[in-house]
A and B are shown apart, each in its own frame.
Chain A
Amino acid sequence: MANDSDGIDIDYVANLARIALTDQEKERFSGQLGDVLKYIEKLNTVDVSGVEPTAHAFPLENVWREDAAEPGFPVETALKNAPAVRRNMIAVPKVVE
C-alpha cells in the first residue's frame, strides 16, 4: 500500500527521469505532487483481491509480421531533424574515455 504521500524524494526521481530541476521547481513539484499523491491514496480503500490488472482496455495478442526488409528513409531524410550531424551520422558528446 502507498501511504507515504509526503515522501517523494524529488532529487532521486529527477535523476531517474534525467531532468535537471531548479530549486524552485523541486520545491513546487514536491508540494503539488504531494497533494496529487494524497488524492490518489483513496485507491487504498478499493479491494482488488483476485482482480487481474488491465494494461490495455481490450485483450491484445502479439501481432506478427513476416521478417522481410522494407524500404526505410534515405539517410538525408532520417538526419533532417538531428541537432548535430557529421559525415552522415548524428554527432554526440564523447561517451568513452
Chain B
Amino acid sequence: MSDPLYYRTASALSRELEAKKISSLELVRAVIERTRAVDGTVGAFISFDEDDALARARASDARREGGEALGPLDGIPVGIKDILAVEGQPLTCASRMLGDFVSPYDATAIGKLKAAGAIPWGRLNMDEFAMGSSTENSSVKTTANPWNTDCIPGGSSGGSAACVAAGEAPLTLGSDTGGSIRQPAALCGVVGMKPTYGLVSRYGLVAFASSLDQVGPFAHTVEDAAILLQAVAGYDRRDSTSYKTDIPDYRAALQENRGPWKLGIPSEYFGEGLDPEVEKAVRAAIDFYRKEGCEIVEVSLPHTEYAVGVYYIIATAEASSNLARYDGIRYTHRSSEATDAIDLYFRSRAEGFGEEVKRRVILGTYVLSSGYYDAYYLKAQKVRTLIRGDFLKAYNQVDALLTPTTPAPAFRKGEKTDDPLRMYLSDIYTIGANLAGIPGISIPCGFSGDGLPIGLQILGRPYQEADLFAIARRFEEAHDYHAKHPGL
C-alpha cells in the first residue's frame, strides 16, 4: 500500500479503519490537508466545513471504539455535489439564485450516507443547476481537470470527478441527467455510475429534468462505487418515482458473477466524430473482453442520431417547469430593483440565473408553448419511446453494451463556451441511457498521447447494476489505468 492516505480506495480505508490501523480523524485530517494543498489549483469545491467533518470523524471513531461501527463507509468522507441537500450546509447549485441558501433538511441519499456513518464532505462545483458539460457554467468558479489544468473536468458533476481524481475525497456523489456523472468520470480518469432511473431517491436532489435525473457514485474503483451505491440505493416514499425492489449485495455479486457475458457493440457509437485515440482504447477494451471468453456481437441502436435532439427538447421542457419555482419570493435571490410583484419575477430571474440556464429555460418554454407542444415535446416523447425500444431490443440479444463514454478526451477551457450546440454534442454517447432509463458506468480504459484519461462506457439492463459492476470489475482487475494519479 504505497498510496498516501488521501489516495487510497474506500475499500482499503475501510479495512484499515476496521483493523484500527488508522482512525477516521486521521483520514479526515489527511483529506482536509490535501484539499487545502491542491484545491486552489483544482477548484473542485465551492465550500467545505472542516469543523463539521472533524466532529463527525470523532463520532465515528467513538462508535468504532464502542464496537458499534455502522458498516464499510463508517468514518469515510464522501464529497457531495452542490445539488444535494445536506441539513445545515449551504446549497447553491453553483447559482447566484441560491447564493445564501442553507438546506433545512437532508436529501434521502444524504440521510442514508449519514446512517451508514459516512461523512458528507464539502460542496462540489458543478454547472449551474447541472446544465452543462464542462463545469464552466458555474457562477462561482471554474474547475480544472487534474490531469491538465488548462482542460475542463467535464460536467455537470465536474467538481465530483475532479475531487476524486485529485485525492480530495475517496468517494463523491453526483447527479446524471444526460451524462453528468459518466462524462466527467471519463474525462478525469475515475469510475462514475448512473444507476437505473428510480434506484436512488431524488428527494433532496434539486430538480433539473425530473424524468431523467439520477444520483450516482464516483470512486477510484468499481468496488468502491458499488459500496457507495449500496449505501444510497433503495425505495423512498418521498420520491414518487422511486422503484420498489430488493437491492442485491453488489460486493458479493462482484465475487460471484464472473461471466462470460454476451456484449454488444452498437455501430452507431463508433461513427463520425469519434476521436481515433478514444476509439483505439475502447476497441482494445473490447478485444480484452473477447479474449476473456465473452461473445462480442455487433448491434444497432438505429435511433441514436436523434437522442441529442430529443434530450434537448425533453430536458429543457422539464427544466423550464422545474425552475419556475425560482421566483424571488420564498427562498431565492430577490431583486432589490423591482417596481411590483410581476417585475420582481422578471428581475430576480434575470439577476439570479446565468446565461446557459436562461437559454435552456427559454428553449424549454418555447417547445412547451401553445402551437409548438405537439411538434416538439410530444414528438420528442414519441422518439424517446423508439430510443428506449432500441436498447430493450438489444438487451434481448446481449447482457450489456460497450461504447466510448465521450467522443474525445477533455477539451480546453473556453473551447466550446460560445457554441452551445457543439457543447451539447459532447454528450452524444451518454444521453441515450437517460432517455431509456437504463444504468451506465464509465471506467478508465486508457490515456491519450497528451496524457488525458479515456473512459469505457458499459450500459446495462434496467436494475442490473450488479452485472455492470461485475463486467466493469473484470476489466479493472486486469489493468492499472484506475490506479494512476495526476501529478498535482
Query: Hey, which bits of chain A sit against chain B, CB under 8 A?
Result: 1-2, 8, 10, 12-14, 16-21, 25, 29, 32-33, 35-36, 39-40, 42-43, 46, 48, 51-58, 60, 63, 65, 73, 77-78, 80-84, 90, 92-95
Q: How far is the CB of A33 from chain B (nearest CB, A)?
A: 6
Q: Which residue of A lies closest to B308 (CB)?
A: A39
Contact B306–A43 (Cβ < 8 Å)? yes
Q: Which residues of A contact B349 (CB under 8 A)?
A: 17-20
Q: Which residues of B contact A90 (CB under 8 A)?
A: 329-330
Kindly supply a per-residue 1/0 record for chain B positions 361-382, scoring 1 wherever the CB is within 8 Å of any chain A CB and 0 otherwise: 1110110010010011011111
Q: Which residue of B lies closest to A83 (CB)?
A: B334
Contacts known (A90-B330, A94-B340); A58 close to B359, Cβ less than 8 A? no
> Chain B, interface size: which category?
35 or more
Q: Which residues of A contact B379 (CB under 8 A)?
A: 2, 43, 48
Q: How far is the CA of A14 from the CA of B362 in the complex (A)?
A: 6
| Cβ-defined partner of A53 (8 Å) among B344, B355, B378 | B378
Contact B350–A36 (Cβ < 8 Å)? no
Contact A36–B381 (Cβ < 8 Å)? no
Contact B341–A93 (Cβ < 8 Å)? yes
Contact B382–A80 (Cβ < 8 Å)? no
Contact A13–B362 (Cβ < 8 Å)? yes
Contacts known (A58-B198, A95-B341); A81 close to B383, Cβ less than 8 A? no
Q: How far is the CA of A22 from the CA of B378 in the complex (A)?
A: 31
A-B contact count (CB 8 A): 159
Contact A13–B383 (Cβ < 8 Å)? no
Contact A10–B350 (Cβ < 8 Å)? no
Q: How far is the CB of A8 from chain B (nearest CB, A)?
A: 6
Contact A19–B362 (Cβ < 8 Å)? yes
| Cβ-defined partner of A17 (8 Å) among B198, B320, B424 | B320
Give the 3 A-B CB pairs with smallest separation, nearest first.
Answer: A57-B437, A53-B381, A83-B334
Q: How far is the CA of A54 from the CA of B386 in the complex (A)?
A: 9
Query: Hey, which bits of chain B sit against chain A, CB under 8 A?
Result: 100-102, 104-105, 197-198, 211, 237, 240-241, 243, 303, 305-306, 308-310, 312-313, 320, 324, 327-334, 338, 340-342, 344-347, 349-350, 353, 355, 358-359, 361-363, 365-366, 369, 372, 375-376, 378-386, 388, 420-421, 424, 435-438, 462
Q: Which of B100, B349, B362 has the most CB of A within 10 A?
A: B362
Contact A81–B363 (Cβ < 8 Å)? no
Contact A16–B365 (Cβ < 8 Å)? yes
Q: How far is the CA of A68 from the CA of B374 in the complex (A)?
A: 39
Contact B312–A81 (Cβ < 8 Å)? no
Contact A82–B362 (Cβ < 8 Å)? no
| 12 A-B interface contacts by CB (under 8 A) | A8-B362, A13-B366, A21-B350, A43-B310, A43-B313, A43-B380, A48-B386, A54-B382, A55-B381, A63-B240, A81-B104, A93-B340
Contact A54–B330 (Cβ < 8 Å)? no
Contact A13–B358 (Cβ < 8 Å)? no
